[in-house]
Structure formats: structure tokens, C-alpha cells
Structure 1
Amino acid sequence: MKWEERLLVWRLNRGDATALSEVYERCRDDLLRLAGSMLHDGPAAEDIVQDVFVAFAGAARTFRLTGRLKGYLATCVANAARNRLKAAARRRTTDLDEAASLASPGEPPDRWMAISEQFERVSGAMAELPAEQREVITLHVYGDMTFRQIAEWQQASIKTVQSRYRYGLDKLRSALNDEVVR
């Protein structure tokens, strides 16, 4: 852990409100990008990040950090996003008004259906990937994060992150090609 982070955690433990603001400013954009790439829903991503920071603020005085601060918060956000996705998967009911609002009025229905089917195929294939591979692909493709940044977040080596990305893409390609052949 860098000395700046140690100082920041020390200030948090002392109840320094400016330290909490500093953490928020440093990490907010990356955490929003992470949550947004996992949820594909901006307002839900904002809710997740806010909930994590509220919980973090409540525990700031007793917080004991063993790793990197940003990595810790990223793990909290990723876990909260996964929990939200699991909860959504359990209740998979779609309101008709919500479904109607998803359709773009400028697109012909058959085009929208084709896009929807492609999205479902890719989402299904992504869901079958191991969590580490899915997370690396999501962060790199949707979150515009470099392998170095992802390695810091996952507390893994860059080579490990690159391997997870490559193996994940290979599995996606295989799953999607197999689906097309059927």
C-alpha cells in the first residue's frame, strides 16, 4: 500500500470528513464505470456506488485496510453489483410498460428483435464464463480499463489478467460459433 493511501486511511480512522471526500473523488469515476459495465444501467450503478460509499463512511473509523483502498472499494462495488444481478435474475418478470419503453421508436420491430436476440446470445454466453474471466472482459471492453488497472483491482498479475481475457474471449467465440452452427 502506498504511503498516500496509508495516510488517507489514518485520516479516515480519525474521522476526517475531507479524507472521505478525497476517497470519493479519487475513486468515484472508476467505481461507476465498473458498476455500469456490470449492470448496464447507469442509475443502478450510481445507486450501488452510493450505497458502498455510505457503508464505507459508516465504517471509516474502524476500517482496517490490508490491501489497496481502490481495490477494496472495487471489490465492494463488484459484490454489490453481483448481488443486484442475482436478485434481478430471481425475479425475471418484466413489466409490459417497461418492455414497451425499451423499443426504439425509430427502429423497425424486426431490427429491434434481431438486436435483442444478439444481445441475449452474448449475455447468455457471458453468463457461462467463470467470474474472473467475465469480470476482466467486462472491465476491459465496457469499462475501458487497461489490463494494468484491472490487475490492480483484482490484485493479480498483468499476465494473469491477460490470460483470463484471452481464455474468456476464446470461450465466448466458441460458445457463439457453436450456437450459430446449431
Structure 2
Amino acid sequence: MQVINKLNDEELITLFKSGHNSALEELVYRHKDKLFTSIILLVKDPFLAEDIFQDTFIKVIDTIRADRYTEKGRFLPWAMRIAHNLCVDHFRKIKRTPIIKTNDDKDIFNVLSFSEKSAEEQMITRQSHDRVRQMLDLLPEEQREVIILRHYADLSFKEIADLTQVSINTALGRMRYGLINLRKMMTEKHICL
């Protein structure tokens, strides 16, 4: 058998279906950062985000075991859609819309760090991320959601359009206007990142 971390998502799913739980562990490990970051940016509560992340993989497991997985070659967008729907369901249950707010918990951006930085670089990075989060909070929800899904979840515009149930042109427009609004805020507040 090949080394498990060299297999693509579809091969891992096939392996998991045949009873190898280590294949599922590899899928979770491979996609956890993008999924969890997207969830926490939507719900702004690390404990709730952890619950939704776990619920996402419970649904993934149930769907694969029931042989209902049909997203060949598109595992991450499929899992992101499940996570997004669970976030929406949560906010429907509590009868309010999801609003991204600045959170004191700075750990969310640790997953974006690819190399060790000095303490000064880490502080500057944290401050920059905080500024971006504060500015994101000021954007209209539709623009904020597209920017998060594109830059933090690394989804294509087609995937974003499918996930948010709008046309690709609408998703592109929301991204464009969101970035224009962010640039305006940076200019008005004299923020340099």
C-alpha cells in the first residue's frame, strides 16, 4: 500500500470505505485548517466552531459510509458546503444572522503561519490581522462572506457561487466591491499593512 499522505482525496475516501480509518484521519488532517478557519470566521466562537467542525466530519463520515458521496474530485468544496450549511443552520436556530465580530482569541491566525517568526514579526502580523478583521466587520455581510471564503478557505469563485447560491458574476462583484471598500477604509484610516 502507498504511503497514506501521498494519496489524493478520492483514494483516501475509497480506502476509508474499505475500513481503513487512517484514511479518514489523513483527510481531516489535510483539510482541518481551511475548514476550521472558515467556520470560526463565520461563527466567531471557538467552542461553537469546534462543535460545528466535528459535526461537519460526522456528516462527512455518515455520507461516505452510506455510499452517498458523489462529489468525485471535489472533497474540500463539498465539506466546506456542509460546514457552511451547519453554520447557517445554527444561526437560524438562534434566530439571528451571522455577524463576524473582532474576537480577542488570536489563535485563528496561527494556522496561517508557515514559518517561525520573531516576536516582533508575530506582533506585527497579529496587529495586521486584527486590523483586517476589524475592517471586515464593517463590510456588508455578502461582501465579507465572499472575501472570507476566497482568501481564508481558498475556494474558487465557482465554489463560492455554489455555496452561497448566487451566480459567479454576483460572487465576483461582491468580492470586487468588498476589496474596494477595504481599500477605502485603509486610505481613510491611514492604515498600512
Provide the TM-score with structure 1 as the length reference.
0.58
Partners of 1:153 and 1:79 in 2: how far apart?
A: 17
Q: Hey, what's the Cα distance between the residues in 1 that align with 2:78 and 2:61?
A: 14
Query: C-alpha offsets along residues 18-68 of structure 1, whole Å, 9 cap, x if unaligned?
Result: 111111111111111000011111111111010111222233221423241
Instruction: Give 2:152's match in structure 1, choosing from 145, 153, 166.
Output: 145
Residue 165 of structure 2 is aligned to residue 165 of structure 1: no
1:55 aligns with 2:55: no
Asked if 1:78 is matched to 2:84, the reply is yes
In the alignment, what sits opposite 1:45?
Answer: 49
CA RMSD of aligned residues (A): 3.4
Distance in 2 of aligned mates of 1:29 and 1:150 = 13
Query: Aligned to 1:15, which of 19, 30, 33?
Result: 19
Shift of 1:4: 1.7
Corresponding pairs, count: 132
1:66 maps to 71
Distance 2:173 2:40 in 1: 24
Question: What displacement does 1:154 show?
Answer: 1.6
For each residue in 1:107-137, what CA deviation from the matched residue of structure 2 results, as whole angstroms up to 9, or x when unmatched? xxxxxxxxxxxx8xx56x634x3xxx44212
Residue 164 of structure 1, CA deviation: 3.0
SS at match of 1:150: coil
- Structure 1: give runs of 5+ residues left out of the alignment: 92-101, 103-118, 175-182
Gaps of 5+ in 2: 1-6, 98-103, 105-133, 162-167, 185-193
Per the normalisation by structure 2, the TM-score is 0.55
- In the TM superposition, what whole-angstrom CA distance separates every residue of 1:91-120 from its partner, at most 9, and x where no partner exists? 9xxxxxxxxxx9xxxxxxxxxxxxxxxx8x
One-letter code of the match for 2:140? M
- Local SS of the residue matching 2:22: helix
Are residues 13 and 153 of structure 1, via their aligned partners in 2, closer, same or farther at CA, if it must alter by over 3 Å?
farther
Percent identical pairs in the alignment equals 26
1:93-108 alignment, distance < 5 Å: none
